[in-house]
């Protein structure tokens, strides 16, 4: 069974397909979207060895010619130097404006390829084939593309919607447990944001889902994508409510920056810590019951996510973390903006947050 969702953005709208063995049938789904029959696949050296042959065979069966570019795996690939090298390699393939890029991989590949597509020949189409849980429920949907800077994560980029998203849940079978858990943080985020019923469903089903139940994984992906698609359709370029999708991310990006965007702290792990800190900040401000903070912490710990920053390193620099918050994309006129919560399923955007409250929360946690 293949489930289909539509992201309603008018002429820029597109379908999200979720199901098993979609890679083997990718050519059939992609073929109607290829004007010039000219495709360039971008993948990383980890994903390519597992899935490139499946995608290649499917494209060949559909009569689609293609070439492949392989980049190093890891967050370090989302850098200006790696992006420049990718652009040179793409241009070497002599693309035209009918060329379509395919991002085969996790969030790094999707972000990098999407940004490349947005500026290659001033913009070409691209397709997302996310292979991690995190990318299937978050980064592949919504058209945010970009790379990192020394000043922060995803500060260089563009909004460029894909023309199709294919989420094959069978790719999750080769995902290390740590990566699966990292992706789960972005799944439960949707329950924390505005859907307490989904959070309750996850309370009942998360363990089986994370143990490999493909049916439950597909249900969670569909629910997550539907939640994100609805918000993106209402606020494509994050002028308002789309910022809710960044729940926990302002904290998370600062921690990631301080660990050098390395394997020391995966994105979803940072998001889990960040969501706990957002709950803690809300409790500190007297707007969220402490019971909801404890419920969120217990759930994240029970599924196996590490929510203790001190287990990652003992010497966090609070001043450095505070500086990172000033570079957050939601910050305006030097005033901090955070996504906070009145309780599970009740997030909101709070502008001009008192920095001393944030500093106190960090001091208590770190």
Q: Can you list the domains of the chain with their CATH numbers?
A: 2-174 (3.40.50.1970), 177-365 (1.20.1090.10)
359 in active site: no
Catalytic residue among 253, 284, 329, 330: 253
246 in active site: yes
The pLDDT value given to residue 330:
79
Max Cα-Cα span within the chain: 61
53 in active site: no
CB 248 within 8 A of CB 272: yes
Q: How many CB atoms neighbour CB 139 within 10 A? A: 25
238 in active site: yes
Catalytic residue among 249, 324, 329, 330: 249
What is the distance between the alpha carbons of residues 105 and 305, in angstroms, rounded to a whole number?
Answer: 23
Catalytic residue among 75, 179, 238, 258: 238
Catalytic residue among 78, 153, 228, 330: 228
242 in active site: yes
Catalytic residue among 144, 189, 284, 299: 144
CA angle 290, 195, 111 (to 5 degrees): 105
Assign 342 to helix, strand or coil.
coil
Tell me the H-state helices in the chain. Answer: 26-30, 45-61, 80-92, 107-119, 133-134, 177-194, 196-210, 214-234, 249-258, 267-284, 290-303, 318-326, 355-365
29 in active site: no
Catalytic residue among 186, 256, 258, 269: 186
Catalytic residue among 78, 153, 189, 267: 267
Structure-token pair, residue 162: 């894909």
351 in active site: no
Assign 247 to helix, strand or coil.
coil
Closest CA to 124 of 63, 7, 36: 36
pLDDT in tens, the chain (366 residues): 899 999 999 999 999 999 999 999 999 999 999 987 789 999 999 999 999 999 999 999 999 999 999 999 999 999 999 999 999 999 999 999 999 999 999 999 999 999 999 999 999 999 999 999 999 999 999 999 999 998 888 999 999 999 999 999 999 999 999 999 999 999 999 999 999 999 999 999 999 999 999 999 999 999 999 999 999 999 999 989 999 999 999 999 999 999 999 999 999 999 999 999 999 999 999 999 999 999 999 999 999 999 999 999 999 999 999 999 988 877 877 889 999 999 999 999 999 999 999 999 999 999
Please give the model's pTM, rounded to 2 decimal places: 0.94
122 in active site: yes
At residue 104, what are phi and psi to the nearest 5 degrees? -110, 100
The pLDDT value given to residue 293:
98
CB 228 within 8 A of CB 246: no
The pLDDT value given to residue 1:
81
The pLDDT value given to residue 152:
85
Catalytic residue among 11, 88, 94, 122: 122
């Amino acid at each position: 069974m293949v489930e289909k969702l539509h992201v309603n953005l008018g002429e820029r709208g597109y379908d999200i397909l979720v199901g098993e063995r979609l890679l083997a049938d990718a050519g059939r789904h992609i073929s109607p979207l290829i004007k010039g029959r000219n495709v360039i696949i971008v993948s990383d050296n980890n994903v390519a060895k597992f899935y490139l042959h499946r995608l290649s065979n499917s494209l060949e069966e559909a009569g689609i010619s293609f070439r492949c570019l392989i980049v190093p795996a890891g967050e370090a690939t989302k850098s200006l130097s790696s992006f420049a090298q990718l652009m040179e390699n793409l241009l070497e393939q002599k693309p035209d404006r009918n060329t379509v890029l395919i991002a085969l991989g996790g969030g790094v590949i999707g972000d990098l390829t999407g940004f490349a597509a947005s500026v290659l020949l001033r913009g070409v189409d691209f397709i997302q084939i996310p292979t991690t849980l995190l990318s299937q429920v978050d980064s592949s949907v919504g058209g945010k593309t970009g790379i990192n800077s020394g000043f922060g994560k995803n500060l260089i980029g563009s909004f460029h919607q894909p023309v199709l998203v294919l989420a094959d849940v069978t790719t999750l079978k080769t995902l290390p447990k740590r990566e699966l858990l990292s992706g789960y943080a972005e799944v439960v985020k949707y329950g924390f944001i505005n859907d307490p019923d989904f959070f309750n469903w996850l309370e009942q089903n998360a363990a089986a889902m994370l143990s490999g139940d493909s049916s439950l994984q597909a249900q969670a992906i569909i629910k997550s994508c539907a939640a994100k698609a609805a918000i993106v359709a209402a606020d494509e370029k994050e002028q308002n409510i789309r910022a809710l999708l960044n729940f926990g991310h302002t904290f998370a990006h600062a921690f990631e920056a301080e660990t050098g965007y390395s394997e020391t702290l995966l994105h979803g792990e940072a998001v889990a810590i960040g969501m706990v800190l957002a709950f803690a900040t809300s409790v500190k401000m007297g707007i969220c019951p402490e019971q909801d903070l404890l419920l969120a912490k217990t759930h994240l710990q029970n599924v196996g996510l590490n929510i203790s920053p001190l287990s990652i390193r003992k010497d966090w620099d609070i001043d450095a973390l505070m500086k990172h918050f000033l570079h957050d994309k939601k910050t305006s006129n030097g005033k901090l903006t955070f996504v906070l919560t009145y309780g599970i399923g009740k997030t909101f955007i709070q502008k001009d947050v008192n920095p001393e409250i944030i500093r106190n929360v960090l001091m208590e946690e770190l």
